[in-house]
Amino acid sequence: MQKVRNRRHVGHVVGLWRYPVKSMGAEELAEVEVSWHGFAGDRRWAFVREGVARSGFPWLTLRQRPDMNHYLPSFADASQPDKSPTVVRTPTGAVHEVTDEALAEELAPGGAHVIKQDRGVFDSFPLSLITTQTIARLGEMVGSELDVLRFRPNILVDASDGAPFVEDDWVGSVLRVGDMRMRVDKRDGRCVVITIDPVNQERKPEILRTVAGDRQGCLGVYGSIVEPGRVATDDLVFVESPT
């Protein structure tokens, strides 16, 4: 007999995004299938800089191209993202298949090539989650409203108790999000990418300084999949307790 898990309601989903190409623009979703390797189609492609393939971080990202999130990837068949051809619309409106060498040349004239990994090209874990309250509180701390896409989450949760940074308390727990269950593995260590405005590419270094000084360099959380399933906006989020 399947055990009934004790659970506590902690919020609901207000945003879902995947990033078919690492560091490129987000694709906003109303619902998504989550497999053992994260959101279907998430971060399956990445550009590797020539000459640094053996380094610990060979990827071409917003660090080198702050406008990279203005390149908008999508799938020819959105119903089968892991099997569909991936195309990229550039800021000028041109459309390329992600494997087109002309796209790599435009992104990195010094040299880059694209790779695909069916398990996803993740910095740490396949899921990232943050709450609206955390983003709002950080905005208060730095004196400006912050776009959620600075933080490139998969899942944005509105916390039921209204407190910022509550997701830190979920580390080590299992969350039920829609039909999917995820383990919250660790806090999300942040880098210079969060200083880059996703719209105009202006840099705001005080964001990272504040996160480093007040939040031990972390904002939001990373997680892995315990039970695959479908997630949709407005789904309730629960913290599960051992039975």
CA 113, CA 154: separation in Å to the nearest integer?
25
* Neighbouring C-beta atoms of residue 185, cutoff 10 Å: 15
CA distances from 17 to 42, 54, 102, 103, 232 (A): 9, 30, 27, 23, 11
Residue 64 covered by a domain: yes
Tokens of 130: 């943050």
* pLDDT tens digits along 83-131: 889 999 999 999 999 999 999 999 998 889 999 998 899 988 999 999 9
Percent of the chain residues topping a pLDDT of 90: 86
Identify the pLDDT of residue 3. 56
Residue 1 covered by a domain: no
Number of structural domains the chain divides into? 1
**Residues 48-61, mean pLDDT to the nearest whole number:** 83
Residue 2 covered by a domain: no
Identify the pLDDT of residue 57. 81
**Residues 176-204, mean pLDDT to the nearest whole number:** 97
Identify the pLDDT of residue 124. 86
Residue 159 covered by a domain: yes
CA 43, CA 196: separation in Å to the nearest integer?
20
Identify the pLDDT of residue 241. 78
**38-39 vs 31-35, strand pairing mode:** antiparallel
Residue 190 covered by a domain: yes
* pLDDT tens digits along 55-70: 778 999 999 999 999 9
Identify the pLDDT of residue 135. 98
CATH of residue 93: 2.40.33.20
Identify the pLDDT of residue 1. 39
Identify the pLDDT of residue 242. 67
**174-177 vs 127-131, strand pairing mode:** unpaired
Write out the residue range of the structural domain in which residue 207 sits: 7-241
Identify the pLDDT of residue 209. 98
Nearest to 11 by CA among 166, 167, 236: 236
Identify the pLDDT of residue 5. 67
Identify the pLDDT of residue 146. 98
Mean confidence (pLDDT) of the chain: 94
Q: Is the confidence at residue 51, as pLDDT, over 90? A: no
* pLDDT tens digits along 148-189: 999 999 999 999 999 999 999 999 999 999 999 999 999 999
150 and 236 in contact (C-beta within 8 Å)?
Answer: no
Tokens of 132: 């609206």
Residue 150 covered by a domain: yes
